C-alpha cells in the first residue's frame, strides 16, 4: 500500500478508537453515578442520547458518529487485508471475521447516532434494539440459529477480553514508551469489566435464541440494570461503571499509541518487545 493509504488507515483507526472511548466513558460514568444516586444505568444508545443533550450536542454527536464509522472502516479493512497478521489458518480467519463483526456492530451504533441527530434525543430504540433484531431474525427459518450464534460470539468476545486483560496481550499493539505505566491497572480492569458485562449480554442473547423468545435478548444497558437488581447491586453497578470507564481509557490509549502490525514492520518496538 502507498504511504497515503497507510496514513489514512492509521487515522481511521485512531479516530475510531477515540469515538469508542467517548461512548464507553459516558456509559461508565452514567452507570457509576446511577449507582451513587439511585438512577437507572444506560447502554450505548443512552450514551448517544446523553451527548446530544449537552451544549453543542449535535456537533459532539456528529463527530462521535463520524468516529464510529471510521472505526467500522478500520475494522473492515483490518479484517479483509489482515493488517494484524492473523494468518490464513482457521484461527486466523476466525479472528479476522471477529474484526469485521466488530466493525459492523459499530456501524449499527453509528447509524443510531445519525438517527438521533435527525430526530432528536430519545429517537433511538435504546436497549430494545437487541430485542428488535432478535425478533426480526426469528421470523426467518434460520433466525434462531443466527441469534444463538450471535450469543456464542458475544460470549467468545467476553472470554477473549478476560484473556487479553490477564495476559496483558494489548502490550504487543502499543508502541514502546507510549502508555504511561500508571494507566495499566485501569486498562486491565477495564478490559475485564467489559468482558464481564458482555458475559451477561451474550448469555441473554444465547438464551433468547434457545428459548425462541426475543424478549430475553438485551444489550449493554439491560446487562447493567440486571447487575443493579442483584444483592449488593449498587456496588456491582459502581464497579461495572468504573470498569467501563477503564475500558474507555484503553480505547484512548489505543487511539494514541496503537500500531498497525503489518504497516509498522518488524523494527518498531512495542511494550511486549524484549528489552535490549
Per-residue pLDDT of the chain (276 residues; tens, 9 = 90+): 677 788 899 999 999 999 999 999 999 999 999 998 877 888 888 899 999 999 988 999 999 999 999 999 999 999 999 999 888 899 889 889 889 989 998 998 999 899 999 887 555 444 556 656 676 777 777 878 888 988 898 899 999 999 999 999 999 999 888 788 899 999 999 999 999 999 999 998 898 888 877 777 778 888 888 888 888 889 999 999 999 999 999 999 999 999 998 888 777 788 877 765
pLDDT of residue 121: 58
**Domain residue extents for the chain:** 3-263
Looking at residue 125, its pLDDT comes to: 47
Q: What confidence score (pLDDT) does residue 113 get? A: 92
- pLDDT given for residue 239 in this prediction: 94
pLDDT at residue 87 in the model: 87
Closest CA to 221 of 206, 241, 239, 203: 241
Q: What is the pTM of this model?
A: 0.89
Residue where the block lists cell 451474550 = 202
What separation in angstroms does the CA of 184 have from each of 63, 90, 159, 169, 247? 28, 32, 19, 12, 11
Q: Could you count the other beta carbons within 10 Å of the beta carbon of residue 118?
A: 8
Percentages (nearest 5) of helix, strand, coil residues in the chain: 75, 0, 20
Give Rg (Cα) of the chain: 19
- Closest alpha carbon to 112 in 49, 202, 197, 67: 49
Amino acid at each position: 500500500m502507498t504511504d497515503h493509504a497507510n496514513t489514512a488507515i492509521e487515522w481511521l483507526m485512531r479516530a475510531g478508537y477515540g469515538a469508542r472511548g467517548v461512548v464507553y466513558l459516558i456509559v461508565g460514568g452514567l452507570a457509576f453515578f446511577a449507582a451513587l444516586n439511585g438512577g437507572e444505568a444506560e447502554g450505548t444508545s443512552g450514551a448517544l442520547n446523553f451527548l446530544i443533550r449537552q451544549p453543542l450536542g449535535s456537533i459532539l454527536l456528529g463527530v462521535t458518529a463520524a468516529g464510529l464509522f471510521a472505526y467500522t472502516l478500520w475494522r473492515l479493512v483490518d479484517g479483509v487485508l489482515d493488517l494484524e497478521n492473523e494468518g490464513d489458518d482457521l484461527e486466523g480467519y476466525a479472528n479476522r471475521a471477529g474484526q469485521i463483526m466488530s466493525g459492523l456492530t459499530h456501524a449499527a451504533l453509528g447509524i443510531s447516532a445519525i438517527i438521533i441527530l435527525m430526530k432528536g434525543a430519545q429517537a433511538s430504540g435504546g436497549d430494545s434494539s437487541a430485542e428488535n433484531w432478535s425478533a426480526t431474525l426469528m421470523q426467518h427459518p434460520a433466525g434462531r440459529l443466527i441469534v444463538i450464534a450471535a450469543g456464542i460470539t458475544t460470549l467468545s468476545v467476553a472470554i477473549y477480553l478476560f484473556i487479553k486483560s490477564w495476559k496483558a496481550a494489548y502490550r504487543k499493539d502499543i508502541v514502546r514508551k507510549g502508555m504511561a505505566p500508571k494507566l495499566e491497572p485501569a486498562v486491565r480492569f477495564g478490559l475485564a469489566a467489559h468482558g464481564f458485562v458482555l458475559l451477561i449480554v451474550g448469555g441473554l442473547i444465547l438464551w433468547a435464541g434457545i428459548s425462541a423468545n426475543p424478549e430475553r435478548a438485551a444489550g449493554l444497558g439491560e446487562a447493567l440494570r440486571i447487575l443493579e437488581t442483584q444483592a449488593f447491586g449498587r456496588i456491582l453497578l459502581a464497579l461495572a461503571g468504573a470498569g467501563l470507564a477503564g475500558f474507555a481509557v484503553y480505547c484512548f490509549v489505543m487511539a494514541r499509541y496503537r500500531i498497525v502490525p503489518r504497516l509498522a514492520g518488524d523494527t518498531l518496538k512495542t511494550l511486549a518487545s524484549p528489552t535490549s
